[in-house]
Amino acid sequence: MAAPLALVLVVAVTVRAALFRSSLAEFISERVEVVSPLSSWKREWLKAFHCWTWEYLHILEQYFMKVSFCHPGWSAMAQSRLTATSTSQVQATPLPQPPEQLGPQTPLIIYLFHFLIDYAELVFMITDALTAIALYFAIQDFNKVVFKKQKLLLELDQYAPDVAELIRTPMEMRYIPLKVALFYLLNPYTILSCVAKSTCAINNTLIAFFILTTIKGSAFLSAIFLALATYQSLYPLTLFVPGLLYLLQRQYIPVKMKSKAFWIFSWEYAMMYVGSLVVIVCLSFFLLSSWDFIPAVYGFILSVPDLTPNIGLFWYFFAEMFEHFSLFFVCVFQINVFFYTIPLAIKLKEHPIFFMFIQIAIIAIFKSYPTVGDVALYMAFFPVWNHLYRFLRNIFVLTCIIIVCSLLFPVLWHLWIYAGSANSNFFYAITLTFNVGQILLISDYFYAFLRREYYLTHGLYLTAKDGTEAMLVLK
């Protein structure tokens, strides 16, 4: 099985290398769909250079020497924008404002790129490859676990008698890990965000390693990777619950409020997580000897000060919002990411990996600066849920919606910014459709999963009381 994986890796790296060398790379790295203020490579340099009064610049002086050498700062950026779009168009272009606070990249990432700045292309290709490999092995293990569990339940006669066609076979499960790697590496979204050098790829790698270590059952490593992912982009915080649930399941500890083992293990895992988070944050503090990065990075994520258009739901809403109400609605919007965790945890406590998939999708949809790279991560999991295919109701329409929207983003952006014949509403309408499409797709998967579970225990051919064929209704 290693040979096909290697082949996929080679193809993926070739495609990326070709794109890095082509003239498209520049164009892609400017697309708002692919890079957000939080993940933009350019912005990272720019902000870092611009805030040169901050202390940590003295520490990382060498890095900034390099930056100032190849990127002479804000004015040059503004000028390049000007040249790219022409003087008259600049009036309509939402120029990113010079930053008021510290750059929104975490100190460790900046420190990392201090060493790797010359090999950026290589680094981003490697992170993508690592993500795919991690996902590959994670899903391989997960499938074994699923199969064992199914066998056990079959032997225990837990399933209804007529569900033979729902039972999964090793044949159909064999190529799933490969398909996952394929879906991640050759997904146009991943390729675009890699070519744009969006740091979203690094977050994806951390999450992938978190999944791998969780599935392998290593609580300590899992907590560390989760802490790193949280440190990077805050939202993976919500993955704590599915991670914990999976580890509990693996150790055969029942999730019961009265069980002592449950509380002990949860406490251990939480402590490992918080501990590693504290260590990482303190490391950043010692690097900078200032706490400024906390409001700068996490404040930037939570309070959404940068309203450059992206594929998310925040920018238009808060551009239109009166300043007075802004705080309230920021809270309402941000709660969306965290809010679904509890009901999902209750409903899906037996299926933590599916829970994790749903949670990653929710993060990708509701986070404050989403990019297509985030979307690509949960899309990589689709092959894992192949067996739900027969229960999906709108897959065709929803796939079409997502493809159409992905194509319309650049078209409407062109009409808005360059041709001037459309306005921001057009672009926002597409963002809305894209997100509604994603939400419907995820709920379709959720419903399909629940339906399959129900059929497994209650039999496939349900009859209502009056003898007619029954329909399942989600309530």
Partner 1 sequence: MGLLSDPVRRRALARLVLRLNAPLWALPVAWLERTMRSVGLEVYTQSFSRKLPFPDETHERYMVSGTNVYGILRAPRAASTESLVLTVPCGSDSTNSQAVGLLLALAAHFRGQIYWAKDIIFLVTEHDLLGTEAWLEAYHDVNVTGMQSSPLQGRAGAIQAAVALELSSDVVTSLDVAVEGLNGQLPNLDLLNLFQTFCQKGGLLCTLQGKLQPQDWTSLDGPLQGLQTLLLMVLRQASGRPHGSHGLFLRYRVEALTLRGINSFRQYKYDLVAVGKALEGMFRKLNHLLERLHQSFFLYLLPALSRFVSIGLYMPAAGFLLLVLGLKALELWMQLHEAEVGLEEPGGAPGPSVPLPPSQGVGLASLVAPLLISQAMGLALYVLPVLGQHVATQHFPVAEAEAVVLTLLAIYAAGLALPHNTHRVVSTQAPDRGWMALKLVALIYLALQLGCIALTNFSLGFLLATTMVPAAALAKPHGPRTLYAALLVLTSPAATLLGSLFLWRELQEAPLSLAEGWQLFLAALAQGVLEHHTYGALLFPLLSLGLYPCWLLFWNVLFWK
Residues near partner 1, by CB under 8 A: 82-84, 86-89, 91-92, 164-165, 167, 169, 171-172, 396, 400, 403-404, 407-408, 411-412, 414-415, 418-423
Count Cβ atoms below 10 Å from residue 323 Cβ, excluding itself: 7
Q: In the bound complex, what is the minimum distance in angstroms from residue 396's beta carbon to partner 1? A: 5
Instruction: Work out the angle between the directed axes of helices 188-195 and 372-379 (0-180°, nearest 10).
Output: 140
Helix runs in 22-165, H state only: 24-29, 41-50, 55-59, 61-70, 73-85, 87-90, 107-116, 120-155
Angle, CA of 208, 213 and 214, to the nearest 5°: 95
Cβ 99 to partner 1, closest distance in Å?
Answer: 26
Nearer to partner 1, 325 or 418 (CB): 418
Q: Which is nearer to partner 1, 120 or 400 (CB)?
A: 400
Q: Which is nearer to partner 1, 58 or 151 (CB)?
A: 151
| Residue in this structure with the two tokens 């998967």, named with its chain if needed | 445
Q: Kindly state the DSSP code that residue 95 receives in the 8-state scheme.
A: P
Nearest distance in Å: CB 165, partner 1 = 5
**CB closer to partner 1 out of 179 and 367:** 179
**Cα–Cα distance for residue pair 262/258, rounded to 1 Å:** 8
- Shortest CB 242 distance to partner 1, Å: 28
Q: What is the CA radius of gyration of the chain?
A: 23
To 5 degrees, how large is the angle CA 262–CA 265–CA 270?
120
- Going by C-alpha positions, the residue among 401, 407, 469 that lies closest to residue 440 is 401
Output the smallest distance, CB 21 to partner 1, in A: 16
Please answer whether residues 445 and 146 qualify as being in contact, where contact means their C-beta atoms are separated by less than 8 angstroms.
Answer: no
In the complex with partner 1, the residue whose CB is nearer, 267 or 418, is 418
Beta-bridge mates of residue 469 = 463
Q: Cβ of residue 423: shortest distance to partner 1, in angstroms? A: 6
- Give least dist CB 167 to partner 1, A: 5
Closer residue to partner 1 (CB): 83 or 463: 83
Q: Output 72 or 254, the one with its CB closest to partner 1.
A: 72
The minimum distance between CB 441 and partner 1, in angstroms, equals: 16
CB of 34: closest distance to partner 1 in angstroms? Answer: 18
Q: Rounded to 5 degrees, what angle do the CA atoms 132, 138, 144 make?
A: 135
C-beta of 30 vs 292, nearer to partner 1? 30
Looking at the Cβ atoms of 295 and 410, the one nearer to partner 1 is: 410
Cβ at position 418, least distance to partner 1 in Å? 7
DSSP summary character for residue 234: S
> In a 10 Å sphere around its CB, with 0-12 CB exposed, 13-18 middle and 19+ buried, how is residue 75 labelled?
exposed
DSSP state of 118: G
> Which residues lie across from 463 on neighbouring strands?
469
Residue nearer to partner 1 on the CB measure, 23 or 53: 23
Task: Specify the long-range contacts of residues 416-419, CB closer than 8 Å, at least 24 apart.
Answer: 416/92, 417/85, 417/89, 417/92, 417/93, 418/85, 418/89
Q: Which two tokens stand for residue 169?
A: 């076979």
Q: At closest approach, how far in Å is the CB of 83 from partner 1?
A: 5
Nearer to partner 1, 34 or 402 (CB): 402
Question: b/e for 158-194, b at 16 or more Cβ within 10 A?
Answer: ebbeebeebeeeeeebeebbbbbbbbbbebebbbbbb
Residue 256, φ and ψ in degrees, nearest 5: -135, 140
